[in-house]
Structure 1
Amino acid sequence: MPNRLLSLAIAVALLSACALPPTGDRAAPQQYQLSLDEYPTPLAEPLAGILLIEQPRAAPGFDNRNIAYQVRDFEIQHYTRSRWADTPTRMLNGVLINVLESSGIAEVVTTPATNMPPDLRLVIDQLSLQQRFTDSDTSYTQLRMRVQLIDPNAQRVLGSQLINVRQPAPSANAAGGVRAANAALAEAVVEITQFTEALLRTR
């Protein structure tokens, strides 16, 4: 009888061990980036002197590295096995600096860390990024933000625009949502660049 009980205990222990995922799988969720492959062709000459890009600010619930999705209205959920490599606001900031610098829209594109007095400030807030499911197999990623161009010397807002971009996800999972997010980012950056250029040409 003792031998039988011992054998049963060993069998249960082995089954329990097989049911547990490997430690590495639990400790290392997949990480994804927001980035661009192409940058705009530079303008013939700059339209501004020093353009300061403020660190974008997120809408409530989106200032983290979680990849958000929504199945029901007003309810934010997060993928447990996938994360952003950094917060979307920080990744957007890096992309914007590179894009606007490549565009030649200003003589200098800078950040608050440089302590250079700017001629203009580009401010982005209310940023949200999430994959929204319309059914179990269909989803899209939505990127929303508000963009303002400010003249700090005149202490006035030159213009403000709400950006709301949707891109279909190629698959109903985190990877599909990320691909759609990068497509949405590319579209949003074009809108931001066009918005800024239009204001600078008419001021």
Structure 2
Amino acid sequence: MKQPDFAINLIAVGAGYARARALFFVNFLAATTLLLTLGGCGALPDKPVRAAMYDFGPGPLSTPATTRQAPLSPLALDEVKTAGGALDNLAVLYRLGYSNDQQLRPYALARWSMPPAQLLGQRARDKLGQRRVVFKAGEGLALSRSQGSLLLRLDLEEFSHFFEAPDKSVGLVRLRATVLEITPAGEKLLAQRKVIVQRPAPSADAPGGVRALTAATDAALEEIEQWLQQVQSAR
């Protein structure tokens, strides 16, 4: 028997509703699966974290007061050298002396603004230039020879945040300093010495290591300044 038109319409509507409901559940399951997958993978990736950039600070903030002490001999400062390798990049390095002190490890999120040798050379010009004229080796050569100035060469051998124990660490700086006299006839070796300085780190992390290395660098340069004065007096 032929179905009434309204019955046929009801059947069609019911079938359409069933299909729509089925499609909704399929989409819902797909969306739920996607969300669970993202949740298991840590959701959407965060923005990459940039490494913190460090140097030795701004340096003097005012002109040092003039003293009545006689100025020291002009000093030619050669480019600071390293043994190569780890110290020729921007990594802030540390050693675990209680575990494996032969392994240099870089802090993941800390960088120097320039290689340590360049930072040291810049700091040396600031510190040693307070009582004497300091210029780069090779600059003003005629003037330096006529005045018998000194030539300072620094070799950076160690520059690391050294952990003696998990809760005890220092900034460790080791340098070899060589001083020569510049004469019209050439360079004359006057003296050479090792400078090893440690300064305690205020915290067992990269910021603490940077502070300790800055303090150790300044102390090493102060030691070199006193030594240079002794060398000059003995000439």
TM range (shorter): 0.7 to 0.9
Structure 2, unmatched stretches of 5+, are 1-24
TM-score (norm 1): 0.85
Aligned equivalent of 2:83:
59
CA distance in 2, matches of 1:194, 1:40: 19
CA contact (8 A) 2:77 2:153 kept: yes
Q: Deviations over 1:73-129 (max 9, x none)?
A: 211110010011111111111111112221x2x3x3111363534332110013321
Paired residue for 1:177? 209
1:114 matched residue in structure 2: 139
Q: Distance in 1 between matches of 2:138 and 2:117?
A: 16
Does residue 191 (structure 1) correspond to residue 215 (structure 2)? The answer is no
Range with greater deviation from structure 2 (108-117 or 124-133): 108-117
Relative distance call for 1:149 and 1:174 in structure 2 (3 A) is same
CA drift of 1:6 comes to 3.2
For residues 112 and 40 of structure 1, the distance between their equivalents in structure 2, rounded to whole angstroms, comes to: 27
1:32-43 aligned within 5 A: 32-35=54-57, 36=59, 42=67
Equivalent of 1:9, from 23, 31, 34? 34
CA distance in 2, matches of 1:97, 1:68: 24
Equivalent pairs, count: 196
Q: Check if 1:202 corresponds to 2:234.
A: yes
Shift of 1:184: 0.6
Give the structure, 1 or 2, with the largest relative contact order (CA under 8 Å, sep 6 or more): 1
Report the aligned-residue RMSD: 2.3
Structure 1: 5+ residue runs without aligned partners?
A: none
The Cα offsets for residues 28-57 of structure 1, whole Å up to 9 and x where unpaired, read as 210111245587975621232x32101111
| Identical aligned residues as a percent | 24
